[in-house]
Amino acid sequence: MKILIINGPNLSMLGIREPNIYGKMTLDEINNVIKNNFKNHDIDFFQSNEEGKIINKILEANSFYDGIVINPAAYSHYSIGILDAIKSIDIPVVEVHLSNIYKREEYRKKSITGEGAVGVISGFGYNSYILGVEALELFYDKR
């Protein structure tokens, strides 16, 4: 399976930014854990702080990947553009969050982008990504 992992704004600062919320692992360390757990899959990684670049990557992914695991970060709470991109493609998307968004500030408790995903995984730290890839596997096993 060919999978794209997309990370949104400020996730390049993992390990430094609010480690009490997001953990102490860097994004590179998380990506390495994902690679090591799923050696049987072809996994690519993309991170951007820019909404338009994330939208373009989602739309391009439709031709090259079997599925996407996305952590849209703050964009999940208000990006109709990313939601529309997710709804525009024919491959499954699983949204993940390091923290439990339902235990956060009121404005973080709603995921606009999650409405287009086949599922949302939240609150398991870096394991949210592991569970996200496993969810894509289950999605294809059910077919």
Angle at CA 23, nearest 5°, toward 42 and 103? Answer: 105
Q: Is residue 84 a known part of a binding site?
A: yes
Q: Which domain holds residue 118?
A: 2-141
What would the mean pLDDT of 1-17 be, rounded to a whole number? 95
> Could you list the active site residues?
22, 97
The one-letter code for the residue type at 126 is Y
pLDDT given for residue 28 in this prediction? 97
The one-letter code for the residue type at 69 is V
The CATH number of the domain holding residue 59 is 3.40.50.9100
pLDDT given for residue 143 in this prediction? 59
Total domain count, the chain: 1
- Please choose, from the candidates 91, 79, 98, the residue with its C-alpha nearest in 3D space to the C-alpha of residue 117: 91
Q: Is residue 128 a known part of a binding site?
A: no
Q: How far apart are CA 14 and CA 22, in angstroms?
A: 7
- Asked if 71 contacts 11 with a C-beta cutoff of 8 angstroms, the reply is yes
Q: How far apart are CA 28 and CA 106, in angstroms?
A: 30
What percentage of the chain has pLDDT greater than the value 70? 99
Q: How far apart are CA 106 and CA 20, in angstroms?
A: 19
- Tens of pLDDT, residue by residue over 25-60, are 999 999 999 999 999 999 999 999 999 999 999 999
pLDDT band at 62 (very low <50, low <70, confident <90, very high): very high
Q: Is residue 108 a known part of a binding site?
A: yes
Q: Is residue 98 a known part of a binding site?
A: yes
- Tens of pLDDT, residue by residue over 123-141, are 999 999 999 999 999 998 8
Q: Is residue 143 a known part of a binding site?
A: no
